[in-house]
Structure formats: structure tokens, C-alpha cells
């Protein structure tokens, strides 16, 4: 417990990195109780026990199912604020929170480059067979250099495709285009003029230096991106339209030696179909940060040497994870203090700079409009 004399009780369902977030809450008069239970994923009964009979706000996790059951319990305890410690909120039934007048916060704006970097790392690790080679080396199997030992794929000058050209997809595309001079194909319901102009300008720069220019093109279908790309990275939201976006049929349209990367949401891929495709196509590779039934994997995936698998660590840099904590804390503290919602793209004033300069606003409230909240 932190600041036991605080008059506002805030429950945090997991320990969070950094201390700026904690200072935000305690300086706002909050008594902060952090759950330290060994249980990795808390069930609703456990969370309701944490809420108890008096609770003003909660910072919860994307692994928790925040629905009518929990929001009613929070409301009954006098709760007025909830923030997800995540940019996504597929785990939150927002209308259930709105129905009882509870604002729902999230933590956008600090995950862009961090997540894009992890997607790039998965791309490189899969294409160059880094994990396979590491396991081989640690197992004492290396007897000397061989011309055919762990031969992978060169990315330089190839084609990268992205599904979803939002902030993270754009950042990843720039890393691959600038770093490896890859041509870019992308699918998104909306044209990304900034990205198109950026790649076109970079192509002109390369041409002025006597190098082959890179190109960019928005495709009309997902299938075209899959068929023509050497690497495909997924950066779309998860909704009914994108669940199992990558299925057996679409996997069959990809190049036999392509690399598929997912650092978005697990259910975007039909994981059972992916396992079958990996088993049938040993030159096909993937890099996965998220899984359909997280934390579980579909049978057979762990045995696929052509899959690089990591445990949902796309946001796992100290700056990002601490920044997420600060944003979540600001969402709760500002709501409890009656401050307006910020809801602007630039949230760095909350995360960086002097503590006393943190804006008096809630950085991101996803149901601000529905609750008719004042805007900063």
C-alpha cells in the first residue's frame, strides 16, 4: 500500500514499472493498493474481492475481462474511474462501463516505435533463422563452419507488405524501407498519404545517389499484399472483420519462403491453420508476439522450428511500459479530480518533462463522447 492516508482508494491489479505513475496518484490524494498475488491472470471473483466495498478507481490489465460484472461491482463500491494498462481494449466491454457512468481509459501514443521495433526484430530473427541457430549452438551441435548451415533469406531490396497502415504499421514500414531498401505494399481501408509521400521522397533520395529507388503502392485487397510480398507484417485492429483475417486460404496465397509477422492481436491469425502451413512448408517462416488463445498456443506451434515465438513483449521497453503506467494513472487521477479528457494524439507531455508540468487532464478516455465529458 502506498500513501495510506489518501482519501481516494485506487486498486492496481499488477505491479507496474517506474515511479512516475505512483507519484501521479499519491499526489492526487490516492491511497494506492497494488495486487501482488502470484496468479498471473486474475479472474473476476478475485478482482471483485480487490475492489471490495469502497474503491474509487482501478488500473487493470488487458488479460482481465472487464464486463458488466466488474463494472457493476466497481460502481457499487463508489468507483468513478477505470483505465486499461494497454492501448487496446478488446478485453473491456466499454458499453457496460458507459451504462454505469464509468470512464474507460487506455494508453496510446507510447507504443508506436517500441512495437514496430519488436516486429522488425521478429522479421530479422525469422528470416535469418536466429533462434534455430541459437538453439543449435547452445545444444553443443556446432562442429565448424559449413556453406549450408542455417541459410536464411536476404531482405535487402525485397518487398515488404503491411496489413494496417496506422501509426505502428507506418513506423515498421519506415524501418524496413529505410533500413533494407525494401519496396512497400500496404493494405488499409484508408490511404496513408504521409507514408506514400515519405517512401516516394526516400526513393528520390536513393535515385539522386545513384541507387535503385524504392516504391510504394496501396493494394486493393489483402490477397494482393500476401501474394507479392516477401515479408508480411500485421498491424490491424482486432474486430469481427479481422478475426482470422489470415486463414488457410490466404496463407496458401503467400510465397513459399515468405515471412509472416504478427505483433498486433493473436486472433487475427487462424493459428491452427498457421501451424499446418508451417509444417507443410518448411521454408515458410513466421514471427509471433501474440497468440489466438493467449497464453496458450495451438498444438504443434512450439515444435515448429520455422516459427519465432515470444510472450507478448512488443511494448516491453522500460520507457514504454513506464509511460503506459503514467498514462493509466493520469487517466484515473484526472477523472477522480474532475479534470477534462485530453484525447489528443500527442500524449508525451504526460510522460516526459517535469512532473509539475503534467497537464491537468485525462490523456485518453475511449468513451468520453458517450459520457459527454468535457474536453481539454
Q: Which of 265, 277, 285, 321 is catalytic?
A: 265
Q: Which of 2, 174, 244, 312 is catalytic?
A: 312
Q: Is 265 a catalytic residue?
A: yes
d(CA 264, CA 240): 15
CA distances from 145 to 87, 150, 192 (A): 45, 10, 45
d(CA 287, CA 314): 12
Cell 502470484 sits on residue: 38
Q: Is 138 a catalytic residue?
A: no
d(CA 114, CA 175): 12
CA atoms within 13 A on the CB side of 73: 15
The count of other CB atoms within 10 Å of the CB of residue 87 is 20
Cell 478475426 sits on residue: 243
Q: Is 294 a catalytic residue?
A: yes
List active site positions. 265, 294, 312
Amino acid at each position: 500500500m502506498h500513501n495510506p492516508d489518501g482519501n481516494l482508494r485506487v486498486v492496481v491489479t499488477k505491479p507496474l514499472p517506474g515511479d512516475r505513475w505512483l507519484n501521479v496518484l499519491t499526489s492526487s490524494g490516492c491511497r494506492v493498493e497494488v495486487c501482488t498475488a502470484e496468479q498471473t491472470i486474475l479472474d473476476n471473483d478475485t478482482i471483485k474481492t480487490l475492489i471490495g466495498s469502497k474503491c474509487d478507481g482501478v488500473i487493470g490489465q488487458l488479460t482481465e475481462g472487464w464486463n458488466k460484472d466488474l463494472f457493476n461491482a466497481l460502481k457499487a463500491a463508489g468507483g468513478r474511474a477505470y483505465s486499461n494498462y494497454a492501448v487496446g481494449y478488446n478485453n473491456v466491454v466499454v458499453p457496460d462501463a458507459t451504462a454505469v457512468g464509468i470512464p474507460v481509459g487506455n494508453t496510446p501514443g507510447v507504443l508506436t516505435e517500441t512495437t514496430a521495433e519488436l516486429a522488425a526484430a521478429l522479421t530479422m530473427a525469422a528470416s535469418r533463422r536466429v533462434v534455430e541457430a541459437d538453439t543449435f549452438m547452445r545444444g553443443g551441435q556446432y562442429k565448424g563452419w559449413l556453406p549450408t548451415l542455417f541459410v536464411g533469406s536476404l531482405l535487402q531490396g525485397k518487398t515488404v507488405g503491411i496489413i494496417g497502415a496506422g501509426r505502428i504499421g507506418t513506423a515498421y514500414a519506415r524501418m524496413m524501407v529505410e533500413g533494407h531498401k525494401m519496396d512497400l505494399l500496404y493494405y488499409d481501408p484508408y490511404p496513408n498519404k504521409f507514408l506514400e509521400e515519405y517512401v516516394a521522397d526516400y526513393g528520390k533520395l536513393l535515385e539522386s545517389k545513384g541507387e535503385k529507388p524504392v516504391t510504394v503502392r496501396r493494394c486493393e485487397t489483402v490477397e494482393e499484399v500476401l501474394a507479392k510480398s516477401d515479408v508480411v507484417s500485421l498491424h490491424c485492429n482486432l474486430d469481427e472483420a479481422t478475426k482470422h483475417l489470415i486463414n488457410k486460404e490466404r496463407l496458401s496465397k503467400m510465397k513459399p519462403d515468405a515471412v509472416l509477422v504478427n505483433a498486433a492481436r493473436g486472433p487475427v491469425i487462424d493459428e491452427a491453420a498457421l501451424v499446418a502451413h508451417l509444417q507443410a512448408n518448411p521454408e515458410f517462416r513466421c514471427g509471433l508476439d501474440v497468440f489466438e488463445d493467449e497464453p496458450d498456443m495451438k498444438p504443434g506451434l512450439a515444435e515448429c522450428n520455422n516459427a519465432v515465438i515470444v510472450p507478448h513483449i512488443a511494448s516491453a521497453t522500460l520507457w514504454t511500459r513506464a509511460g503506459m503506467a503514467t498514462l493509466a494513472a493520469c487517466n484515473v487521477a484526472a477523472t477522480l479530480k474532475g479534470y477534462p479528457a485530453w484525447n489528443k494524439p500527442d500524449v508525451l507531455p504526460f510522460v516526459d518533462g517535469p512532473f509539475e508540468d503534467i497537464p491537468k487532464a485525462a490523456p485518453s478516455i475511449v468513451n468520453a463522447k458517450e459520457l459527454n465529458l468535457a474536453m481539454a
